[in-house]
Chains A and B, each alone.
Chain A
Amino acid sequence: MIKKTKKVPDSRGHFGRYGGRFVPETLIPALAELEETYKKLKKDKTFQQELDLLRNNYIGRPTPLYFAKNLTERVGGAKIYLKREDLCHTGAHKINNAIGQTLLAKKMGKTRVIAETGAGQHGVATATGAALVGLECEIYMGTDDMKRQSLNVFRMRLLGAKVTEVPTGSRTLKDAINEALRDWTTNVRHTHYVLGTVFGPHPYPAMVRDFQSVIGTEARKQILRAEGKLPDCLIACVGGGSNSIGLFCAFLKDKIKMIGVEAGGLGIESGKHAARFAGGSLGVFQGCMSYLLQDGDGNVLGTHSVSAGLDYASIGPEHCYLKDLKAIEYTYATDDEALKAFDLLSRTEGITPALESAHAIAETVNVAEKMPVDAIIIVNLSGRGDKDVMEVARIKGIEL
């Protein structure tokens, strides 16, 4: 077993055997510049104050830690708390990272930012950050995702961003990332790539984690205030893995049970899913070494999930590292389970979760009912479900 005391990532961006920097040489100087600037600004009081001010007055932090009494009673087990990232400005945790990175881009003297988006939440968040700090913005999005998240496409355009359709490959998130990387390779001198999750080449996995760690830092304080003790279990959905790492990293030293929930799609046997740990193997993809859904020849497999934000073939390298350490357990929820949880939370609590977050709710129900009533679970409610209403109606066969 790997020693947990080691600081990760190391100076070259490795989390044990995972992570690293696997991109064209053209981008290496830009990544080095980003790493240097970020290292400096992390310790820069003015930058941190500026960021804190925006967190409080613009994003709306701290977000509440809400005791979901009705859901707790319905399930009949552990007390369920929801970390309300859905109440962040723009409707999801993605803004925590996007504001940090657009501010960083401005400090580096870049005039333009680009981003990929799956569910559209990161695209909206980046377009928002760009509008706020005054940067040109272009968002890449797969054709299929543009269809199922048309509301967010329009939101991005309202915010002044150019949304570029990616009709190649599987026409989802991974293809949007390919196109964003191609754009960045071409325009690297004046453009910053706002990667939306704890993935890609170093320093992104560590930097995005740091920007999202505010979730866990707040939740830890909030639960101690509310309950006078730490929770027994943390649950979050895992696409690239930024909302989950954001919540989990503040509790890593506490040896609490933590569960990451991947997209089980139509079930693992069907092959139509995005459960990298259940169905993937070690590989190198889009900038880092990690678990990857791939065929025997190393080509990346198509994925499926009802939630565009979890529909991705690989997973953040730090997750692989923490899985090896047995610090986090990983499971999956299927499309059907997520859709049921979507309804359940809407009806019991009056909160419609994003389909991504609904995966975490589905697992929470399973786990909570087996735990004693004095146990505590914190679930990261990473986003709100407004964006998914049309798609859920379509799945239910209801014409709006």
Chain B
Amino acid sequence: MKKIANVFKQLRKAGKKAFIPYIMAGDPSLDDTKRFVAELEQGGADIIELGVPFSDPLADGPTIQRASERALAQGVTLRKVLALVEDIRNDSRIPLVLMTYYNPVFKYGIEAFVREAVRIGVSGVIIPDLIPDEAGDLIGYAKKYGLDTIFLLAPTSTEKRVKIVARSSTGFIYYVSITGITGAKLQLDSTMESTLSLIKKHSRKPVAIGFGISSPEKAAAVARLADGVIVGSAVVKLISEGKDIRAFARAVKEVI
């Protein structure tokens, strides 16, 4: 499949920004997730984030918490999400990034996880409760087997943190737009621009912005400041309401 870095390179050449939707794997079922991936790809998604459900999602707001509960109630585990990716790979080459809390990966075995993820075609991993300082093993294996490690920066990040996170991230850098949890209200202020320029000062890696981006308008506003836009809770909410996510993806893709 396509490498994340190449996706950004091509988009940059075309003067476009990456659209990265997030969905919770197994919400409401793994079969549905497979269908949603196809719909998002048809709608113009460039990379898709697949959430792995966890019992204690401390970085997530109510929308994704509930999606996680629904997926867990279906018996969805990291193992099953990996099997789902293998299945999706029969039909699609779109880069898939797993967003998971650290403990399921730790329990699976860090090397075993990275090896299996790469074997079945996962492009990268985002772990919101793992900072680079604690990720020595993961980064080592990810380099060895070829998995992108996407770390996060936030409006509170100091220059020292920016340097550490930028250096450890591959694929792209995830900039959390707000001090808060997923699905909270987006605030466009000067902190975002100043932190983003700080990131750009220390790294030439692509930066995608996520958290609180709930509409095509907001996506358009933040896209101007970065290389990609991540939309999570809004997509998860549409799914829970049985609405058309392909149309939403198109609407976002058109304006970024």
Please list the residues of chain A having a beta carbon within 8 angstroms of any beta carbon in chain B.
12, 20-30, 32, 168-169, 174-175, 177-178, 181-182, 185-189, 282-287, 292, 294, 296-300
Stretch at the interface among B90-98, B176-184, B201-209, B247-255: B176-184
B212 to chain A, nearest CB (A): 11
- Number of B residues near A (Cβ < 8 Å) is 41
Assess whether B156 is in contact with A284, with CB atoms less than 8 Å apart. no
A296 to B181 alpha-carbon distance, docked (Å): 27
Contact with A along B131-156 (1 / 0, CB 8 A): 10110000000000000000111111
**SS class, residues of chain A in contact with chain B:** mixed
Interface centre among A23, A283, A284 (most CB of B within 10 A): A284
Return 13 A-B CB contacts under 8 Å, by A number: A12-B133, A22-B129, A26-B176, A28-B157, A29-B158, A29-B161, A178-B57, A188-B156, A283-B103, A294-B107, A297-B104, A298-B54, A299-B103
Q: Are B158 and A285 in contact (CB under 8 A)?
A: no
Q: Are B179 and A189 neighbours in the complex by a CB distance under 8 Å? A: yes
A287 / chain B contacts, CB cutoff of 8 Å: 129
Q: Residue B12 at the A interface, CB < 8 A?
A: no
**Bound Cα distance A283, B184 (Å):** 29
Interface status of B165 (Cβ within 8 A of chain A): yes
Which residues of chain A come closer than 8 Å to B238, judged between CB atoms?
none
Q: B55 contacts A186, CB within 8 Å? A: no
Which of B3-11, B22-30, B31-39, B71-79 is found at the contact surface with chain A? B71-79
Is there an interface contact between A22 and B134, defined as CB atoms closer than 8 Å?
yes
* Chain A hits for B107, CB < 8 A: 283, 294, 296-298
In the complex formed, the residue of B with least CB distance to A32 is B158
Does B56 contact A25, Cβ atoms closer than 8 Å?
Answer: no
Query: Which residues on B sit within 8 Å (CB–CB) of A168?
Result: 65, 69
- Interchain CA distance A29-B165 in the complex, whole Å: 13
A286 near B156 (CB under 8 angstroms)? Answer: no
- Contact residue among B77, B78, B131 (Cβ-Cβ distance under 8 Å from A25): B131
Q: Given the known inter-chain contacts A21-B131, A22-B130, please indicate yes or no for A298 contacting B106, CB distance below 8 A.
A: yes
With contact pairs A178-B58, A285-B103 given, residues A185 and B179 touching in the complex (Cβ less than 8 Å) = yes
Alpha-carbon distance A23/B79, docked complex (angstroms) = 24
In the complex, are the beta carbons of B151 and A25 less than 8 A apart? yes
Q: Check if B129 sits within 8 Å of A24, measured CB to CB.
A: yes
Q: Provide the residues of chain B in CB contact with A285, threshold 8 Å.
A: 56, 103
Question: Chain B: residues with CB nearer than 8 A to chain A?
Answer: 54-59, 61, 65, 69, 72, 77-79, 102-108, 128-131, 133-134, 151-158, 161, 165, 176, 179-181, 184
Q: Which 6 A-B pairs have the closest CB atoms?
A: A298-B107, A298-B104, A26-B154, A297-B77, A299-B55, A186-B180
CA distance A22 to B78 in the complex (A): 19
User: Are B106 and A24 in contact, CB atoms less than 8 angstroms apart?
Assistant: no
Known: A25-B157, A26-B156, A282-B106; 15 extra A-B contacts, CB below 8 A, are A21-B134, A26-B154, A26-B176, A29-B157, A168-B69, A169-B55, A177-B58, A182-B61, A284-B102, A294-B107, A297-B78, A299-B72, A299-B77, A299-B104, A300-B55
CA distance A182 to B157 in the complex (A): 17
- The answer to whether B56 and A185 touch across the interface, beta carbons within 8 angstroms, is no
Given A178-B56, A286-B56, A298-B104, does the pair A25, B176 have CB atoms closer than 8 Å? yes
User: Which chain A residues lie closer than 8 Å to B155 at the CB level?
Assistant: 26
With beta carbons under 8 angstroms apart, the residue of A21, A26, A178, A296 that contacts B133 is A21
Q: For A186, give the chain B residue with the smallest CB separation.
A: B180
**B108 to nearest A CB, angstroms?**
7
The chain A residue with its CB closest to the CB of B184 is A186
Residue among B61, B128, B130, B156 with the most chain A CB within 10 A? B156
Q: Which residues of B sit under 8 angstroms from A294, Cβ to Cβ? A: 103, 107
How far is it, in angstroms, between the C-alpha of A187 and the C-alpha of B78 when the chains are bound?
Answer: 31
Tell me which residues across on chain B come within 8 A of A286, comparing CB atoms. Answer: 56, 58
Q: Which residues of B contact A24 (CB under 8 A)?
A: 58-59, 128-129, 152, 154, 176
User: Which residues in B have their C-beta under 8 angstroms from that of A297?
Assistant: 77-79, 104, 107-108
- Report the bound CA distance from A296 to B79 in whole Å: 10
Q: How far is the CA of A23 from the CA of B108 in the complex (A)?
A: 20
Docked complex Cα distance between A186 and B184 (Å)? 9
Q: In the assembled complex, which residues on chain B have CB atoms less than 8 Å from the CB atom of A284?
A: 102-103, 106, 129
* Residues of chain A within 8 A of B158, CB atoms compared: 29, 32
Residue among A30, A169, A187 making CB contact with B56, cutoff 8 Å? A169
A29: which of B55, B106, B133, B156 is its contact (CB, 8 Å)?
B156
Give the chain B neighbours of A300 by CB distance below 8 A: 55-56, 103
A185 touches B103 (CB 8 A): no
Given A29-B158, A182-B58, are A298 and B105 neighbors across the interface (CB < 8 Å)?
yes
Most chain-B Cβ atoms within 10 A of its Cβ — which of A12, A22, A25?
A25
Alpha-carbon gap, A185 to B176, bound state (A): 11
Contact residues in A for B130 (Cβ distance below 8 Å): 22
B129:A299 contact, CB within 8 angstroms: no
A22-B102, A299-B72 are known contacts. Are A181 and B58 too (CB-CB below 8 A)? yes
CB distance from A205 to the nearest CB of B (A): 15
**Given the known A-B contacts A25-B151, A25-B165, A188-B179, are A298 and B78 also in contact in the complex, defined by CB atoms under 8 Å?**
yes
Residue of B nearest to A287 (CB): B129
- Decide if A20 touches B106 in the complex (CB within 8 Å): no
Asked if B179 contacts A26 (CB within 8 A), the reply is yes
